[in-house]
Amino acid sequence: MPTKRDDRDLIDFHQYWPILKRRWPVTTVVIGSVFGLTALVTFLQKPVYESQAKLLFNKQSGVSSLSGLSSQVGELSGLTNLSNPVDTEAEVIRSNPIVQKTITSLNLKDKSGKLVSIERFLKVLKLKTIRGTDVMQLSYRSTNPQEAASVINSLMNYYLESNVRTNSAEARSAREFLNRQLPEVEKRVLKAEMALRRFKEKNRVVALDIEAKAGVEGLKDLLEEITTAQAELADANTRTRALQSQMALNTQQAVELSTLSQSPGIQQVLTDYQKTEDELAVARTRFSDEHPTVINLDKKAAALRSQLEGRVSQTIGNSEFVPEQNLQIGKLKQNLTEELVKSEVNRLAITNRLAELRQVYIVNQRRLDILPRLEQQQLQLQRQLQVARLTYEQLSKQLQEVEVIENQNIGNARVISEALVPERPVSPVIPLNLALGGFLGILLGVGTGLLLEAMDTSLKTIEEVKHLLDYPLLGIIPLAEKAKGSDGEGSTELPVLNNPYSPESSAFEMLQANLSFSISDKKLKVIVVSSSVPGEGKSFVAANLAVAAAQIGHRVLLVDADMRRPRQHKIWEQSNLIGLSNILVGQAELPTTTKEALMTLDFVSSGTIPPNPAGLLESKRMAALIQEATNDYDFVIIDAPPLTAVADAQILGKLADGILLVVRPGVVDSAAASATNTLLAQSGQKVLGMVVNGITSTSSYGGYYSKGYYHQNGHSKNGKVNKQMPKIHIS
């Protein structure tokens, strides 16, 4: 269910239809003018032909991409990620040299016979990148189809030639640069190689990684050998100490004993000495010390002993005394002595070997310690050499590639669709132009009608009246028409009297009935009929309302209080010599001034026009006159001047039971209606309601009254009802 707000937001097209019906002449003229002008321009316009072609762009030239040559020469690329190389090439195509060359070669001229300017050429030329591809579509329009195709084909050829020249120029510049750089790079390569060779010679480096690996393994092996030697040394020390403890000899003594015991000369002398000692001992048992045998043996023993000591001293290298028992030892002791000597020799050998292993370990450890520094230096030199070599190789390779590119004549674009001579024009499109002209004409026509309607501030429909004047709607009076066969003004001014079966008559009957319900606290007797501005039909409403009230049996007095522009005497076709103004100034009385319009309807005209009507209406005589009329009549209907013109209606409204406001769409405008509304509210007037007068099919709700219904009823020949025969209304 849409809300009230949604209902307000929706466009009510029904409210625009009456506007268009009212403004149809202007709307029709505008629509016809725009459509006719569009058709005239369309059929007078020369046909325009459009020729199209397509270019395919490659990032690199064809030969470069197939042979893997340098991607830096002749490559399509942008400076930023937002750049589109195809759009860049489009600007190259639009460049002045290419465009000017095309214009000159084809001798393109404008209507004045001069060469077409670059600006005008570019306005006709259209370049469009096909979405999602590297294809550009070129199009050119001309009244000459052959010229349109020739322009596109020539423009593409000149662009392709320019592209090839540009790529060749770039390749040539690159080749010259590479030729200058190669010797410098080659010198850097030689310098790096020489530095690496000197480093290896100075530090005796062959292969640092292999040397480091071998050094680590060697240190491991040396460490194992050192550990083994230390274990063997500990074992030899233990063995030596055990042998020394068992023999009570140190190593030096054991060596001396072993040497003496193994010396044949000493053992021979020792044997002779022992034998002589034995013989001396035997001789002493037999002989005395002075015996020559004893003396000889004693001398012999002394000589042998001296010889033995000399040989011992010569053998061991010192003159210390060696006990005789140490000169000749037993087999066990001799073996132990040899074992001690061997153990000592082995210990000394192990000690020396251990010292050498430790020295070698220290040397190797120092070498390994400097290997990282040497490796760092070597890597730095190798890196410099590698960079120099790679640079040299790349430059050499690029030089070869650039030389090939320089010699080729292929660009980054190729034609995939040439421009053909168009057979059909693209402009003007007659159906489309006529449709657009019609649509624009309708739009401008409707807009003109609505604009004129907006500029017209008059109230045109009942809806606008109700929206602006918030008073009860008591009646709707259709526009009165002249009855057939009737003459004179009264035939249309008094339709209730002269044409009782007309829609106007029924409308006034309904108005009279609604007035009876407008107030409920007292009986309605005095009514002031007025309007906002002149011309709304207040006098017409007052006269016919009086007739309607009289026809149902009420005694009615109709007073023309508009003493500025009186109208009632013309409607009733009566004289205006004596009337209301004469009564108010005391020149006449009410009973003698009234004129009989119908059997139950009396009429008082305005009388002589006074200089100050408002003063007369505000006098006590006017109040007394109304009081006298209410005593003699059932209804008193006062026709008052318009509210916005003078204050007469407001003065009379204070003396009456209420004001009946007459509003006529198309006559009163919004400003006057608003002023009237404000005036009535500020003066505190009692407004019975309003009656909308002069309603037509364009201003009504769309058919409250069906004239055919009423015309089927009986009429008199002249369409009139006898004035002496009041219309009896049975409800």
What are the residue boundaries of the structural domains of the chain, listed by start? 14-177+409-417, 212-379, 462-711
Greater model confidence, 542 or 282 = 542
pLDDT of residue 654: 92
Which range of 12-16, 32-36, 287-291, 715-719 scores highest in mean pLDDT? It is 32-36
From 325-329, 486-490, 575-579, 615-619, the region with the lowest mean pLDDT: 486-490
From 65-69, 357-361, 697-701, the region with the lowest mean pLDDT: 65-69
Q: What number is the average pLDDT over the span 521-543?
A: 90
Length of the chain: 731
Q: What is the largest CA-CA distance in the chain?
A: 234
Q: What number is the average pLDDT over the span 398-409?
A: 76
> Running DSSP on this structure, what letter comes out for residue 622?
H
- Between the alpha carbon of residue 169 and those of residues 70, 91, 125, the distances in Å are 15, 20, 28
Report how far Cα 565 is from the mean position of its chain's Cα atoms. 71
Which range of 64-73, 181-190, 330-339, 584-593 scores highest in mean pLDDT? It is 584-593
SS3 688: strand
From 339-353, 500-514, 576-590, the region with the lowest mean pLDDT: 339-353
Mean pLDDT for all residues in the chain = 79
The residue type of 605 is S
- Which candidate, 177, 692, 167, 212, places its Cα nearest to that of 468? 692
Report how far Cα 406 is from the mean position of its chain's Cα atoms. 45
Q: What number is the average pLDDT over the span 57-74?
A: 52
What does CATH list as the number for 462-711?
3.40.50.300
The angle at the Cα of 219, spanning 216 to 223, to the nearest 5 degrees, equals 140
pLDDT of residue 710: 43
**Whether 536 contacts 670, CB under 8 Å:** no
Residue 62 confidence (pLDDT) above 50: no
From 22-26, 227-231, 251-255, 486-490, the region with the lowest mean pLDDT: 486-490
pLDDT of residue 439: 85
pLDDT of residue 236: 80
Q: What number is the average pLDDT over the span 658-681?
A: 87
pLDDT band with cut points at 50, 70 and 90 for residue 491: low
Greater model confidence, 158 or 6 = 158
Q: What number is the average pLDDT over the span 3-32?
A: 63
**Whether 125 contacts 158, CB under 8 Å:** no
Beta-bridge partners for 662: 531, 691
Q: What number is the average pLDDT over the span 436-462?
A: 74
From 261-275, 394-408, 567-581, the region with the lowest mean pLDDT: 261-275
The Cβ of residue 351 has, within 10 Å, a number of other Cβ atoms equal to: 15
Query: Measured between alpha carbons, how far is 225 from 125 in angstroms, rounded to an integer?
Result: 93
pLDDT band with cut points at 50, 70 and 90 for residue 239: confident
Q: What number is the average pLDDT over the span 49-57?
A: 90
pLDDT band with cut points at 50, 70 and 90 for residue 3: very low
SS3 730: coil
pLDDT of residue 374: 72
Q: Tell how many helices (H) and how many strands (E) occur in the chain.
A: 28, 12
pLDDT of residue 721: 40
In the CATH scheme, what architecture does the domain 14-177+409-417 have? 2-Layer Sandwich (3.30)
Q: What number is the average pLDDT over the span 466-484?
A: 77
Residue 484 confidence (pLDDT) above 50: no
From 153-157, 280-284, 556-560, 697-701, the region with the lowest mean pLDDT: 697-701
Residues 6+ apart with CB under 8 A from 294: 280, 283, 284, 287, 288
pLDDT of residue 71: 47
Residues 6+ apart with CB under 8 A from 723: 497, 598
SS3 534: coil
Greater model confidence, 92 or 224 = 92
Percent of the chain past pLDDT 90, that is, above it, reads: 25
Query: Measured between alpha carbons, how far is 75 from 493 in angstroms, rounded to an integer?
Result: 96
pLDDT band with cut points at 50, 70 and 90 for residue 139: very high
**Whether 485 contacts 724, CB under 8 Å:** no
Residue 410 confidence (pLDDT) above 80: no
Residue 546 confidence (pLDDT) above 90: yes
Query: Measured between alpha carbons, how far is 481 from 477 in angstroms, rounded to an integer?
Result: 12
Record the tokens describing residue 46, joined without a space.
Answer: 């020369």
DSSP string covering 167-216, please? HHHHHHHHHHHHHHHHHHHHHHHHHHHHHHHHHHHHHT-S-HHHHHHHHH
- Between the alpha carbon of residue 485 and those of residues 135, 171, 491, 706, 718, the distances in Å are 85, 108, 10, 21, 6
Q: What number is the average pLDDT over the span 26-34?
A: 83
- Which candidate, 603, 606, 564, 600, places its Cα nearest to that of 583? 606
Residue 459 confidence (pLDDT) above 70: no
Q: What number is the average pLDDT over the span 441-469?
A: 74
Is the Cα torsion angle 690, 696, 698, 701 positive or negative in sign? positive
Residue 453 confidence (pLDDT) above 50: yes
Greater model confidence, 570 or 707 = 570
Q: What number is the average pLDDT over the span 578-605?
A: 93
Residues 6+ apart with CB under 8 A from 273: 301, 304, 305, 307, 308
SS3 539: helix
Query: Measured between alpha carbons, how far is 383 from 389 in angstroms, rounded to an integer?
Result: 10
pLDDT band with cut points at 50, 70 and 90 for residue 376: confident
Side-chain half-sphere exposure of 282, counting CA atoms within 13 A: 5
Residues 6+ apart with CB under 8 A from 148: 49, 50, 51, 140, 141, 142, 419, 421, 422
**Whether 600 contacts 553, CB under 8 Å:** yes
pLDDT band with cut points at 50, 70 and 90 for residue 485: very low
For the entire predicted model, the pTM comes to 0.47
